Chain A
Amino acid sequence: MDERSWTRREIIATSIAGGTAVVAGLGGHARRRRRSGRGGEPRRQIDVVLTVNGADHHLPGLDAHTTLLDALRDHLQLTGSKKGCGLGACGACTVLVDGRRVNACLTLAVMSQGKAITTIEGLAQDGELHPLQAAFVAHDGFQCGYCTSGQIISGVACIAEGHAHSDEEIREWMSGNICRCGAYTNIVAAIRDVAGREG
């Protein structure tokens, strides 16, 4: 690479931007038909406000069929939440909505307005890892890492719900998060560790 090294994501985003500029010129007429989509006439493009990790993000003219996961990843560049199956089976996209675990791929962004959304990017405070993030490192709770964001978010809720008193209970209440590498033993150990410390 020459002056700076480009990430794979930046290269993809730059090459897509060229094509988008042409299309954007054709979509002007749709802008008059937005607004909130709440209680009014059905709309295909909606001005959406998402509260993610404590900050409001405005997404003007968002396609109504945009999932919360696509809004986070493609519009807010919060790519920590992963798209595994896109069908709610794997749990890689798990985020917290008002403190509850949600598959972001099975949720519409427009339906997530006015709710507090927490992603993996929102767990660390003042540059310090969340205790469960640190425990995943200490216990080696991953191999490839693709499911890890979802595992940690889900684990945080699992502990908060009081469902982490035994290995069996943790395995049951974490069963919505699949790890194809099979790091389950260490994932359970990490959650058990933090749950034990929090009493």
Chain B
Amino acid sequence: MVPFAYARATSLAAATASAARHRSDGAHEPGADFLAGGTDMMQLMGEHLRNPDRIVDISALPGLDRIEQHPAACGSARSSG
């Protein structure tokens, strides 16, 4: 794993602002990446496929610390981006 600087985000606004200041294309631009559970990112970083210079830990953000399944939402998920 390539060394990186770590910070835990305390708000959604701070997390997105930090990531926007340090854009990364993952493979070549060593900017900022989000880290939550880590199942995917830790493997990608371990294999040097993603080499961020900064990690923004969003695992402790209120409201973004769990995954819930709502029966009514199944099959009607839409992109909000």
Question: Do A and B make up one complex?
Answer: yes
B42 contacts across to A, CB distance below 8 A: 67, 88, 105-108
**CB atoms of A65 and B2 under 8 A apart:** yes
Query: What number of residue pairs across chains A and B have CB atoms under 8 A from each other?
Result: 69
Pick the contact of B7 from A41, A107, A108 — CB < 8 Å? A41
Partner of A64, one of B3, B10, B46: B3
Taking A42-B54, A105-B42, A111-B57 as contacts, is the C-beta distance between A65 and B1 under 8 angstroms?
A: yes
Residue of B42, B56, B59 with most partner-chain A CB within 10 A? B42
Chain B residues with a Cβ under 8 A of chain A: 1-10, 18, 35, 38-39, 42-43, 45-47, 54-57, 59
Picked from A38, A40, A41, A65, the residue with its CB within 8 Å of the CB of B3 is A65
- B6 touching A37 by the CB < 8 A rule? yes
Interface size class on chain A is 20 to 34
From residue 14 to 48 of chain A, which have CB atoms closer than 8 A to chain B? 37-44, 46
Binary interface encoding of chain A residues 70-112 relative to chain B, with 1 for a CB under 8 A from any of its CBs, else 0? 0000000000000000111000000000000000011110110
List residues 102-137 of chain A with CB under 8 A from any CB of chain B.
105-108, 110-111
- Cβ of A63 and Cβ of B3 under 8 Å apart? yes
B6/A42 in contact, CB under 8 A: yes
26 contacts between A and B (CB under 8 A): A37-B6, A37-B7, A38-B7, A38-B8, A38-B10, A39-B7, A39-B9, A39-B10, A41-B7, A42-B6, A42-B7, A43-B6, A44-B4, A46-B6, A64-B3, A64-B4, A64-B6, A65-B2, A65-B6, A65-B45, A87-B43, A87-B46, A88-B39, A105-B46, A107-B42, A108-B57
* Chain A facing B: main interface SS: loop
Name the B residues within 8 Å of A108 (CB-CB): 6, 35, 38, 42, 55, 57
CB-nearest residue of chain B to A46 = B6
Assess whether A42 is in contact with B5, with CB atoms less than 8 Å apart. yes
The listed residue (A39, A86, A88, A106) touching B8 by CB distance below 8 A is A39
Nearest-CB residue, chain A, relative to B11: A39
CB of A166, distance to nearest CB on chain B (Å): 25
